Structure 1
Amino acid sequence: MTDAPMPLEQIREEITDLDNQLVALLARRRSLSIEVAKSKIGTTKPVRDQTREQLLLQRLISEGQKHQLDAQYVTQIFHTIIADSVLYQQSYLQTLTNPESTQPTARVTFLGNKGSYSHLATRNYFSRKQTQVVEMSCHSFKDIVSQVEKGNADYGVLPIENTSSGSINEVYDLLQHTRLAIVGEITLPIEHCLLTAVDTKLEDIDTLYSHPQPHQQCSEFVHRLGGVTQEYCSSTAEAMAVVAEKKQGNIAAIGHASSGALYGLQVLKTDIANQEENYTRFIIVARKAVDVTPLVPAKTTLIMSTDQKPGSLVECLLVLRNQHINMAKLESRPVMGNPWEEMFYLDVEANIKADNMQQAMEELTRLTRTIKVLGCYPSENVKPVDPQTGELIDS
């Protein structure tokens, strides 16, 4: 004779109670991470301690095994918790390093209306800044830059590259001429869905609305649909608004499921991007550069032009190697008005004030025609630690 199962409502009540306890514990843990950051003020201890993280994960895996929890489940959860802790500590220390930039309210401009991917990136980035955000939508990247340059907005959020469709050239070209500085970054997972306003079937869809980037990132899915008309919009938010207004069974928008819900849209198909791991990196620009505390990992973005002779670029890259500076990104763009001449954009994992970076800048200045620092800012890419080796895992 077996025990009678618990009533479903009782089970749900217990799960709800446990969820509430988990949320309270996560909040308590986050507050303690700020106390950790405070304890490091005035020291040279960096925010991240890979050895400590490795030992923590190993202990948690062992503890999880006692409760029949597999290692992957435990590490996946705590990688997220550790990343959150690191980013909150970085944000706190950066606030102390740049007190003049701390303000109760910030005007932030982004591409599209509420629900666009740029809007989601804006909310995610500023959620840790203890700042109330006044959201300002724009219809073009150029307008975003212009609004910040004129002082109508304090920050601008711009997508710079995607793991599927590559670099966003229009933004790189704008960086070539703007006076703004890059002051931050955030990487957002892009989860493209097919969204409709009415109940319909996939085979009935003959028109797709979205921004050109999602169209490109979902090109394989669109090709499989066959004979579909692609309509380009200024943002995914505009595309969703159009589909919501038309309310037709033959049209759909490409966008995020939660954003589609804001427009009353329903998900017809999920996971339609070419790549399963689809991420977009956004940069945050402002009129004034920020200082980055040496306690947090920094990234510096440069733009430079070299002599038009063999080996010029290689000589510059050797400077970085010799100074033990890792280059995370190299992008070339044509110089407008100068045929066949290129400007090079570099992301390097270094603080512009570090001794090796200062030495590198001196050497690069001698080797290049022009060189300009577009910004030095905290790196928001918190790579997880491998519990076995203690090394950072590229993601």
Structure 2
Amino acid sequence: ELTHPIKHALLVAQSDTNSTDISKIKVLYAHPQVFSQCSHFLANLTDIEVKPADSTSAAMLIVNELKRDDVAAIGSEAGGKLYGLHAIESNLANQKENHSRFIVVAQNPVDVPLQIPAKTTLVMATTQTPGALVNALLVLKDNGINMTKLESRPINGNPWEEMFYLDVEGNLQDGKMQETVKQLTAATRFCKVLGCYPSEEIKPTAVSAVQALNDIK
């Protein structure tokens, strides 16, 4: 598990950034999620065509290939340098503290020593009965396992049914975690461990919770 601070910038192919006026930008490329993260900045722009890209790197590649002074992308300054782009404005995100989380994926599982703080990611599907999800989550509570993330995704071919992805604090080498997985398997229709990995400790930011909520609006 790795987290990386993300600072969005307005990137252009022109090397002389002093001569690049934002008002000249007519087309802007970025990943749709980036557009939502920078909505306040975009609201102040006029007469700009926003075009979604498959990824941030794809957006920067397009700008690099077009090399037009009226085309720009939103991405990190470090990423822009890889594509020969230059920042003409920085810190575009609504929230000043913006981090992306990455998981390093391996083909074969790697045992995490018990001395290292770890997380385990699971996917499960509950039965379509009242309280089924609550009963599954109570397994975590009863075993003293802290859940750090819960996310639902639709099940293809099964309308209105969802799978649940969970991140929990626990090491699969630990007996308590193994017992928890066993009980979750019994309490759900489907349960699978996707992986166990060292967790990264993230220090609290200087931005208050109230300010963070205001930035979202």
Alignment of 1:107-146 (within 5 A): none
Alignment of 1:41-60 (within 5 A): none
Q: 5+ residue gaps in structure 2?
A: 205-217
**Secondary structure of 2:33's aligned partner:** helix
Given residue 202 of structure 2, which amino acid in structure 1 is its aligned partner?
A: K
Residues of 2 paired with 1:324 and 1:304: CA distance?
Answer: 19
Residues of 2 paired with 1:356 and 1:384: CA distance?
Answer: 27
Change (3 A) 1:364 1:201: same
**Secondary structure of 1:382's aligned partner:** coil
**Residue 324 (str. 1) matches residue 140 (str. 2):** no
Residues of 1 paired with 2:82 and 2:192: CA distance?
Answer: 41
Query: Could you report, residue by residue, the CA deviation over 1:129-181 in whole angstroms, capped at 9, with x for unpaired residues?
Result: xxxxxxxxxxxxxxxxxxxxxxxxxxxxxxxxxxxxxxxxxxxxxxxxxxxxx
Given residue 3 of structure 2, which amino acid in structure 1 is its aligned partner?
A: T
Residues of 2 paired with 1:195 and 1:258: CA distance?
Answer: 11
**Residue 351 (str. 1) matches residue 150 (str. 2):** no
Residues of 2 paired with 1:234 and 1:383: CA distance?
Answer: 29
Residues of 1 paired with 2:189 and 2:176: CA distance?
Answer: 21
Following superposition, the deviation at residue 384 of structure 1 comes to 4.2
1:383 is aligned to 202
- Structure label with greater radius of gyration: 1
Given residue 252 of structure 1, which amino acid in structure 2 is its aligned partner?
A: A
**Residue 194 (str. 1) matches residue 10 (str. 2):** yes
Residues of 1 paired with 2:197 and 2:60: CA distance?
Answer: 33
Following superposition, the deviation at residue 258 of structure 1 comes to 2.2
Given residue 342 of structure 1, which amino acid in structure 2 is its aligned partner?
A: E
Alignment of 1:270-289 (within 5 A): 270-289=90-109
Structure with greater helix share of residues: 1
Residues of 1 paired with 2:126 and 2:195: CA distance?
Answer: 20
Query: Could you report, residue by residue, the CA deviation over 1:173-204 in whole angstroms, capped at 9, with x for unpaired residues?
Result: xxxxxxxxxxxx21111111001123311122
Residues of 2 paired with 1:211 and 1:359: CA distance?
Answer: 41
Residues of 2 paired with 1:266 and 1:358: CA distance?
Answer: 50
Residues of 2 paired with 1:264 and 1:292: CA distance?
Answer: 39
Q: 2:79 aligns with which of 243, 255, 259?
A: 259
Following superposition, the deviation at residue 356 of structure 1 comes to 1.6
Given residue 4 of structure 2, which amino acid in structure 1 is its aligned partner?
A: L
Residues of 1 paired with 2:144 and 2:60: CA distance?
Answer: 47
**Secondary structure of 1:227's aligned partner:** coil
Residues of 1 paired with 2:146 and 2:54: CA distance?
Answer: 35
**Residue 371 (str. 1) matches residue 191 (str. 2):** yes
Given residue 260 of structure 1, which amino acid in structure 2 is its aligned partner?
A: G
Residues of 1 paired with 2:45 and 2:27: CA distance?
Answer: 10
TM-score by length of 1: 0.48
Aligned length: 200
Query: Could you report, residue by residue, the CA deviation over 1:226-272 in whole angstroms, capped at 9, with x for unpaired residues?
Result: 33211222332232232233232221111111222233322111000
Residues of 2 paired with 1:360 and 1:259: CA distance?
Answer: 41
Change (3 A) 1:263 1:342: closer
Residues of 1 paired with 2:131 and 2:100: CA distance?
Answer: 32
Residues of 1 paired with 2:40 and 2:203: CA distance?
Answer: 31
Given residue 30 of structure 2, which amino acid in structure 1 is its aligned partner?
A: S
Alignment of 1:27-106 (within 5 A): none
**Residue 244 (str. 1) matches residue 64 (str. 2):** yes
When structure 1 is superposed on structure 2, of 228-237 and 310-319 the one drifting more is 228-237
Structure with greater strand share of residues: 2
1:216 is aligned to 36
Residues of 2 paired with 1:301 and 1:262: CA distance?
Answer: 32
TM-score by length of 2: 0.86
Segments of 4+ in structure 1 off by > 6 A?
none
